[in-house]
Chain A
């Protein structure tokens, strides 16, 4: 059923559009193979056939052939015009989002993705959409240029400060899909990922009614996931190395020196405060203002989950 032979080269086909892009990719690929064999094949054959032995003698010296040259100019010209139109056509087919699209606002900043749903639900580093429904993302950036890349949907769009850009897709495959940032944006660029979950329509309904909250996963496992999806891992390691912030290894119960001279023991309230109001107590030796606030972005259950996760990091 799948006509696409180059599947190992491409990510999963997450939408009908992805299939159509892959078809074009495949067309150009095989066309390229034919030209490559033609060019390099004749080159290799000539090297083999006309290899020099002794002094060159009786070498025919012809300098051009008008008919041949016109042929090899016009045929490629026709071919590239075909590719151009095909590419333009498939590009345009996916530029204007249908009117009934689910509209999600996307805010990019160093180095995280935030999502806002029409009902006000906000999530960070992950978002859910229903299967088979068109989804339109309206994106803007708080700082530098980022780029929202959904490989499985074959979609990508730069996210700019002071301007909106949009992108839409209609997912057909349930499950998790990776989002990358593809416009270089500094130290955390390669950690600036997000996770798209495509749910069945029912599951999506349940998820959005819960305000985007995961109610089933055990707390410590949820915490481990949030550690990655909320990008704590950009600045906090779990193996003891110092990145931009203190490591989480052995954090629970640790006594911290706070800038200004006091000390504090890491407990539930301290973690909660650190996450909601990071500048209230700044750990000695680290810069104020690097750690972003998660106020309004982490729900109670999620903060609890992170706390439970920290307890496991001995």
Chain B
């Protein structure tokens, strides 16, 4: 039982720390045209963190405006533009690429024991396509930012005077970046696994990435087509969605959610994938129910395609459609539930260390459980009719997307930071920031469940006085949350300069990335890695 997961760690280790992917080549050009998945991952990481900052700023503005009814800092038009930007930036520029394109790009080939992804040039292309798409989105800011909400519902979006075309064109272009990453990962996982790494020995992170990639490749084209149709209607006046032109506005919603519900899983599956790595390492225990976790990712990916209509229970769709979508929605809850049980069971009789990545994993379990359970209200037909398009929904998806994916992303960032940068961050500051984020998050969003249940509609610039105390409370929460992230930015940046050098394996993990130096050499390994054991086989 004491054999290592990688049994060919050889004597090259002594030279390992001198040369790595960061110092192997020098100069700006060596980054701009790099084909190294690690460098592309780092460039993605920088870009999405910038997007996160921008989106976060918009969120703070939205919350500040809502601290009191009526005008606080901006007019209704500006407010509508700001919440649209917040949503669009967070979804398209941050969350969707966050884990796959940034952390996944960096870690997936290493976790598989590969030298790079299957198509390094496609990988670089996907990054530049992301940049172009991002420029379109951000440029729309200067041309009279869209005021439609990130969902671009017709006929509002085809009749408003704001720059919807630039924004949707941006989202359309970003879709290609997402598809390229997905294709690349699928090929990489199929073809570039290290000798001995059967599907059943693949780390669960890779399973999660696989399921995500499949959805990205299948669903994203539908979004592309939808947005193109929308642009055609807006620019050329072709009647597709606008009733005045003989179109059907609800058709747009079907198209949009046919992508955007699976996109919810594009966002959450990678988060789950990270949690499945962190919990075993910090519990020093084999993951409980490897098969169930791996297969539930695949099940979620498949059933996730069949539930889009639950966004439309009040859209006038038929009772029969409502019934089917409600039922399938409940079915898709089961695999997520199974994962949560498995993670908790993994901790049972383990040896649990509470380093920052584990704190994020625990926060994830707490928040994601609330997000999942409140989903039950919304899947239930008659209850959803009351809660639909209120703050209850806003709270629910923030618990899943932010409490789930974003918290998992930061867990992963802290988990792999030593590997990526070769430096350790301040553990004590990191714990404080994690606590601030956790508290701030709950203050901000737990309140919103109550607001929504009491009937506060979403996307409201103004509101009736009875809602004021809860709104004010929620706004204060957003400041605590902001403070947490500010602190995080501070100690992470500081670690680059003054952080202690990271050892190869600071957390005691047994997957491939911990067998290679921190930061890894240009070709990831100084030897040919061979998988002789499963990814979670710890010494007893």
A67 interfacial by beta-carbon distance below 8 Å: no
What's the least CB distance linking B188 to chain A, in Å?
Answer: 26
Contact yes or no, A154 B386, CB < 8 A:
yes
Contact yes or no, B287 A88, CB < 8 A:
no
Contact yes or no, B380 A87, CB < 8 A:
yes
A241 CA to B74 CA, complexed, in Å:
13
A184 CA to B322 CA, complexed, in Å:
22
Contact yes or no, A36 B377, CB < 8 A:
no
What's the least CB distance linking B144 to chain A, in Å?
Answer: 13
A157 CA to B350 CA, complexed, in Å:
51
B405 interfacial by beta-carbon distance below 8 Å: no
Contact yes or no, B80 A21, CB < 8 A:
no
A250 interfacial by beta-carbon distance below 8 Å: no
A314 interfacial by beta-carbon distance below 8 Å: no
Contact yes or no, B382 A87, CB < 8 A:
yes
Contact yes or no, A21 B383, CB < 8 A:
yes
Contact yes or no, B382 A161, CB < 8 A:
no
A77 CA to B379 CA, complexed, in Å:
14
Cβ contact of A61, chosen from B369, B384, B540, cutoff 8 A: B540
What's the least CB distance linking B307 to chain A, in Å?
Answer: 13
Contact yes or no, A28 B380, CB < 8 A:
yes
Cβ contact of B463, chosen from A32, A59, A92, A190, cutoff 8 A: A190
Which residue of chain A has its CB nearest to the CB of B455? A151
Contact yes or no, A158 B338, CB < 8 A:
no
In the complex with contacts A40-B369, A241-B71, A10-B454 CB distance below 8 A: yes
A91 CA to B391 CA, complexed, in Å:
21
Contact yes or no, A160 B382, CB < 8 A:
no
Binds A, one of B43-51, B154-162, B493-501: B154-162
A42 CA to B369 CA, complexed, in Å:
13
Cβ < 8 Å to B, chain A residues 14-61: 20-21, 24-25, 28-29, 31-32, 35-36, 39-40, 42-43, 46-47, 50-52, 56-61
A114 CA to B92 CA, complexed, in Å:
38
A68 CA to B344 CA, complexed, in Å:
13
B486 interfacial by beta-carbon distance below 8 Å: no
Contact yes or no, B366 A40, CB < 8 A:
yes
Q: Contact mask A168-210 → B, CB, 8 Å, 1/0? A: 0000000000101111111111110100000000000000000
A131 CA to B198 CA, complexed, in Å:
69
Contact yes or no, B286 A61, CB < 8 A:
yes
Write out the residue numbers on chain A whose beta carbons fall within 8 Å of the beta carbon of B362.
43, 47
Contact yes or no, B370 A59, CB < 8 A:
no
Contact yes or no, A61 B538, CB < 8 A:
yes
In the complex with contacts A59-B538, A91-B322, A95-B319, A145-B153 CB distance below 8 A: yes
A24 CA to B292 CA, complexed, in Å:
31
Contact yes or no, B160 A149, CB < 8 A:
no
Write out the residue numbers on chain B whose beta carbons fall within 8 Å of the beta carbon of A6.
453
Write out the residue numbers on chain A whose beta carbons fall within 8 Å of the beta carbon of B377.
25, 28-29
Write out the residue numbers on chain B whose beta carbons fall within 8 Å of the beta carbon of A149.
389, 455, 457
Which residue of chain B has its CB nearest to the CB of A71? B341
A36 CA to B327 CA, complexed, in Å:
22
A240 interfacial by beta-carbon distance below 8 Å: no
Binds A, one of B23-31, B216-224, B329-337: B329-337
Write out the residue numbers on chain B whose beta carbons fall within 8 Å of the beta carbon of A42.
344, 348
Contact yes or no, B77 A187, CB < 8 A:
yes
Contact yes or no, A88 B156, CB < 8 A:
no
Contact yes or no, B153 A183, CB < 8 A:
yes
Contact yes or no, A43 B457, CB < 8 A:
no
Contact yes or no, B80 A186, CB < 8 A:
yes
A80 interfacial by beta-carbon distance below 8 Å: yes
Q: Contact mask B346-385 → A, CB, 8 Å, 1/0? A: 0111111110000000100110011001101101111111
Contact yes or no, B383 A28, CB < 8 A:
yes
User: What is the total number of residues of chain B having a CB less than 8 Å from a CB of chain A?
Assistant: 90
Cβ contact of B540, chosen from A58, A65, A163, cutoff 8 A: A58
In the complex with contacts A52-B284, A62-B286, A84-B380, A157-B365 CB distance below 8 A: no
A270 interfacial by beta-carbon distance below 8 Å: no
A63 CA to B323 CA, complexed, in Å:
38
B233 interfacial by beta-carbon distance below 8 Å: no
A94 CA to B385 CA, complexed, in Å:
11
Contact yes or no, A9 B454, CB < 8 A:
yes
A165 CA to B385 CA, complexed, in Å:
14
Write out the residue numbers on chain A whose beta carbons fall within 8 Å of the beta carbon of B538.
56, 59, 61
Write out the residue numbers on chain A whose beta carbons fall within 8 Å of the beta carbon of B540.
57-61
In the complex with contacts A52-B284, A64-B288, A186-B160, A47-B389 CB distance below 8 A: no
A299 CA to B349 CA, complexed, in Å:
76
A88 CA to B370 CA, complexed, in Å:
23
Contact yes or no, B365 A80, CB < 8 A:
no
A5 interfacial by beta-carbon distance below 8 Å: no
Cβ contact of A182, chosen from B155, B333, B390, cutoff 8 A: B390
Cβ contact of B292, chosen from A51, A64, A180, cutoff 8 A: A64
Write out the residue numbers on chain B whose beta carbons fall within 8 Å of the beta carbon of A40.
365-366, 369
What's the least CB distance linking A38 to chain B, in Å?
Answer: 9
A298 CA to B353 CA, complexed, in Å:
71
Write out the residue numbers on chain B whose beta carbons fall within 8 Å of the beta carbon of A3.
none
Binds A, one of B106-114, B242-250, B423-431: B242-250
What's the least CB distance linking A280 to chain B, in Å?
Answer: 26
A86 interfacial by beta-carbon distance below 8 Å: yes
A29 CA to B392 CA, complexed, in Å:
13
What's the least CB distance linking B260 to chain A, in Å?
Answer: 15
What's the least CB distance linking B457 to chain A, in Å?
Answer: 4
B537 interfacial by beta-carbon distance below 8 Å: yes
A144 interfacial by beta-carbon distance below 8 Å: yes
A162 CA to B341 CA, complexed, in Å:
48
A90 interfacial by beta-carbon distance below 8 Å: yes
Q: Contact mask B47-89 → A, CB, 8 Å, 1/0? A: 0000000000000000000000001000111001000000000
Which residue of chain A has its CB nearest to the CB of B323? A88
In the complex with contacts A46-B350, A189-B461, A178-B319 CB distance below 8 A: no
In the complex with contacts A90-B382, A158-B316, A186-B160, A51-B354 CB distance below 8 A: yes
Closest 8 CB pairs of A and B: A162-B243, A151-B455, A87-B380, A56-B351, A91-B381, A190-B460, A32-B373, A80-B330
Known pairs A61-B537, A81-B330. 12 more at Cβ < 8 A?
Answer: A25-B386, A35-B369, A40-B369, A56-B508, A59-B349, A63-B287, A83-B330, A87-B383, A143-B155, A147-B389, A165-B316, A190-B76
Show the binding face of A for B, using Cβ within 8 Å: 6, 8-11, 20-21, 24-25, 28-29, 31-32, 35-36, 39-40, 42-43, 46-47, 50-52, 56-65, 68-69, 72-73, 76-77, 80-81, 83-84, 86-88, 90-92, 94-95, 143-145, 147, 149, 151, 154-158, 160-163, 165, 178, 180-191, 193, 241, 243
Between A and B, 11 residue pairs with Cβ closer than 8 Å are A11-B455, A25-B383, A36-B370, A46-B350, A47-B354, A88-B323, A88-B326, A154-B382, A184-B458, A186-B156, A190-B457
